[in-house]
Amino acid sequence: MSTKKQNIFKILFVCSGNICRSPMAEGILKKKLPDELQSQVQVISAGTLGIWGSAPSKEAIQAAQEIGVDISSHRSQGLSAELVKNAHIILVMAENHLHHMLDTFPGCEGKVFLLKAFENKLNEDEVVSIPDPIGLSIEVYRNILRTIDAHIDRLLPKLDQIIKKYSRI
């Protein structure tokens, strides 16, 4: 029997309150993660505002449920130095989250990325932030969810390569 500890690759999604965008991203990736990677990858989310224990917004829950993703049991958590340290890659929703990460957690430069820009070539005029839908209509949530879902779909075929590239040796 091997005593070697299996390394779990940790992906951390970050938004503001951890009640809309990042829990939707977490739920989508968990649902779409290939079976062979389920035991190798941990997907978590957190928020820059330090809100703990809040449920996702009802619109986030509804939009996610419409595509078969259940985030109703999610509870928000704020970013911590430990979460950041233990994550292999950190995918943030907006430029202000990227700046917050770089300012607050020195040393995370090589592993924090905008979700829309991660491993992706963008046009000069392309907006890289995914806007916060909090307080807006369910249709806005659906549009945000579709954007997040599309970028996760873009990552999935490259996940093996991403794990190899960003794993600690």
User: Does a structural domain hold residue 79?
Assistant: yes
Q: Residue 32: which domain range?
A: 22-166
User: What is the CATH classification number for the domain harbouring 59?
Assistant: 3.40.50.2300
Query: What are the tens digits of pLDDT across the range 90-119?
Result: 999 999 999 999 999 998 988 999 999 886
Average pLDDT (16-44) is 95
- pLDDT recorded at residue 25: 98
User: Does a structural domain hold residue 124?
Assistant: yes
Predicted confidence band at 5 (pLDDT cuts at 50, 70, 90)?
very low
Cβ atoms within 10 A of the Cβ of 50, count?
Answer: 13
Average pLDDT (16-40) is 95
- The domain total for the chain is 1
Query: Where is pLDDT greater, at 134 or 162?
Result: 134
Helix (H/G/I), strand (E/B), else coil: 125:
coil
User: Does a structural domain hold residue 115?
Assistant: yes
pLDDT at 4 over 80: no
Local structure of residue 36 (DSSP, 8 states):
G
Predicted confidence band at 125 (pLDDT cuts at 50, 70, 90)?
low
> Could you list the active site residues?
15, 21, 132
User: Does a structural domain hold residue 141?
Assistant: yes
User: Does a structural domain hold residue 106?
Assistant: yes
User: Does a structural domain hold residue 51?
Assistant: yes
pLDDT at 73 over 50: yes
Cβ atoms within 10 A of the Cβ of 121, count?
Answer: 6
User: Does a structural domain hold residue 16?
Assistant: no
User: Does a structural domain hold residue 1?
Assistant: no
Query: Which H or E element spans position 13?
Result: strand 9-15
Q: In what order do the strands lie in the sheet with 41-47?
A: 41-47, 9-15, 89-92, 112-114
